[in-house]
Amino acid sequence: MSGEQKIEIKLQPGERIVWIEPGRPLREAFALAGWRLETPCGGLGTCGKCRVRISPRLEVTANEREILSAAEIMDGMRLACQVLVNQPLEVSLPVVTREVCRKIDVMDERIGELSVAGQGQGYGVALDLGTTTIAGSLVELHTGRRMALAAELNPQVIHGADVLSRLAFAMQGEAERRQLQREAVAAANVIIGRLIKMVGLDISAIKEGVVVGNTVMHHLMLGLDPVSLSQAPYRPLVSHSVWACAEELGFNLTPGTNLHFLPNIGGFVGGDAVAVLLATGLVDSAQVKLILDIGTNGEIMLGSTAGLWVCSTAAGPAFEGGRITHGMRAATGAIEKVRIIDDEVEIAVIGEGPACGICGSGLIQAVAELYRVGLVDKTGRLLEVDEVPAEIGVRSRLTVSEGEREFILVPAEMSAHGRAISITQQDIRELQLGKGAIRAGVETLLKELQTSEPEIAEVILTGTFGTYLDIPSTVRIGLIPPRFADRVTLVGNAALLGAEIALVSSEARVIADQIARKAKRIELANRADFTEFFINYLNFGV
């Protein structure tokens, strides 16, 4: 197995091997393997819940010296959130950590319940066509084991950040639709090329694939005319599952390789939502659960065995760093965490080097912290220096640039590019629009079902950055209803997990079709109550 681009991590118990990018926190290896280490401190290294034993031994951080005893350090104990992966490691969970580590390997659990397709030796590729990011994974077909993971920026963003912009471009003509298809396929080919290089395979090893995405992305990838999605009643041209020839679509796969597209539920609620429902098993739950798939196009799902209701809302690209002054994807150099402690601003940067910008999880935490310490009011207004009490030392970071108020996170001399990295008033407004849309969708579904608060047993957050969200921050800004704060679970990219399940289980594909037929789509457009909720929940802290 090639380790040129990623580093091998061996996890115990279970003899599991995962590959992770250099410079990433060790805890992400557990997430990739399907284990979630409970970290109430949000990965700051202060709770000590993510104790692991590693070999070889590495230098211990100051935070770890405060938490771990001298004997533990001598025994090779470390905190998984503090270890940055820069060399191959063998990692084992001590008993105390096993007791607080909750395994959420959804694919293993679901495949255990379903029948494996029995395709023999070979590999398959799963693709999640996000509006902003396209993610893919390589899966061993006869075991269901994820071998590698990769992602690329969706090149279609040059035509607009959201699905409505893509629709407008596609409707200009057949040439534009073909261009959008070529762009999506090209990105998928880059991902597939990276995946096989990571594992050291030939392209002929890939026998088939499963593709999921929202309805617009589904139509554009297949080269279908999406005009029916641009006007009421917003019906897809194709709702059922589709088998397509990869070669005919332009994929660089062996001739004869087929791709399975999961079915759409309706306009803007596509196969990615079906994949999330398949992965999380919501339709098999006796308890009512709420799922938020947070991205540029946000899907909201609510239900149990008694029924299933879904909706989609255009949250915009802010959650993935889009339309943010210094926004970027969650890549090396992105600020992913922000804490304001006394007079200091503490940041965590992916890769531990100097900051280049800020990704979605960092943006949410930064704005939540500004609101917590009183530099942003509940309406989202960034205050001026003379409006802030003198005892709040970080008020000195408030400034005005080109007529717009901003808060400096990283001074110019400390950034990677010599320019200050800040949160501007407009950035806060972009975040408000996104969180207002998601929250309004949640409240609309709850109203539709007339579901009382105690009946919601769990709130599941998923999406491309769902694993890295800070729950207190999402609650503080009102993205998640505060009344559900103690019921939140983070599961990462469940859409990709669902695609992987469908890749290795023929029974899962049948269930996916059943899910699509069972789900009741709630159309939010032109609903007065949705508009009212949206306006009300633009504010923070509600």
Tokens representing residue 455 in the block = 């009946």
Please give the average per-residue pLDDT across 336-342, as a whole number.
Answer: 92
User: What type of residue is 220?
Assistant: L
Distance (Å, rounded) from C-alpha 175 to C-alpha 440? 37
Amino acid 104: pLDDT: 41
Q: Is residue 413 pLDDT above 60, yes or no?
A: yes
Cα torsion for 12, 19, 296, 399, to the nearest 10°? 90
Greatest mean pLDDT range, 76-85, 142-151, 406-415:
406-415
Amino acid 508: pLDDT: 92
Say which range, 128-132, 178-182, 426-430, 490-494, has the weakest mean pLDDT.
490-494
Tokens representing residue 395 in the block = 């008020």
Amino acid 103: pLDDT: 39
Q: Is residue 249 pLDDT above 50, yes or no?
A: yes
Amino acid 100: pLDDT: 39
Q: What percent of the chain has pLDDT over 70?
A: 90
Please give the average per-residue pLDDT across 116-136, as a whole number.
Answer: 84
Prediction pTM value: 0.77
CA distances to 3, 108, 455, 493 from 105, rounded to whole Å, are 24, 6, 26, 12
At residue 5 the predicted structure's pLDDT band, cuts being 50, 70 and 90, is: confident
Tokens representing residue 490 in the block = 């983070």
Q: What is the overall mean pLDDT for the chain?
A: 87
Q: What is the pLDDT of residues 358-372, one digit of tens each?
A: 999 999 999 999 999
User: What type of residue is 240?
Assistant: H
Please give the average per-residue pLDDT across 59-80, as a whole number.
Answer: 88
Amino acid 526: pLDDT: 79
Q: Is residue 332 pLDDT above 70, yes or no?
A: yes
Amino acid 96: pLDDT: 41
**Greater model confidence, 442 or 320:** 442
Amino acid 120: pLDDT: 56
Tokens representing residue 254 in the block = 């062996």
Q: Is residue 248 pLDDT above 90, yes or no?
A: yes
Q: What is the pLDDT of residues 193-204, one digit of tens each?
A: 999 999 999 999
- Strands of the sheet with 398-401, listed across from one edge: 398-401, 404-410, 421-424
Say which range, 82-86, 105-109, 474-478, 512-516, has the weakest mean pLDDT.
105-109
- Residue 370 phi/psi, 5-degree rounding, is -60, -35
- State in Å, rounded, how far the first CA of the chain is from the last one: 50
Give the count of alpha carbons within 13 A of 392, CB side only.
Answer: 20
Q: What is the pLDDT of residues 456-465, one digit of tens each?
A: 999 999 876 6
Q: Is 389 left (phi over 0), alpha (psi -120 to 50) or beta?
A: beta
Q: What is the pLDDT of residues 223-236, one digit of tens each?
A: 999 999 888 888 89
Amino acid 3: pLDDT: 38
Q: Is residue 284 pLDDT above 60, yes or no?
A: yes
Q: Is residue 351 pLDDT above 60, yes or no?
A: yes
Distance (Å, rounded) from C-alpha 190 to C-alpha 179? 17
Amino acid 33: pLDDT: 67
Is residue 432 within 8 Å of 536, Cβ to Cβ? Answer: no
At residue 171 the predicted structure's pLDDT band, cuts being 50, 70 and 90, is: very high
Amino acid 15: pLDDT: 67
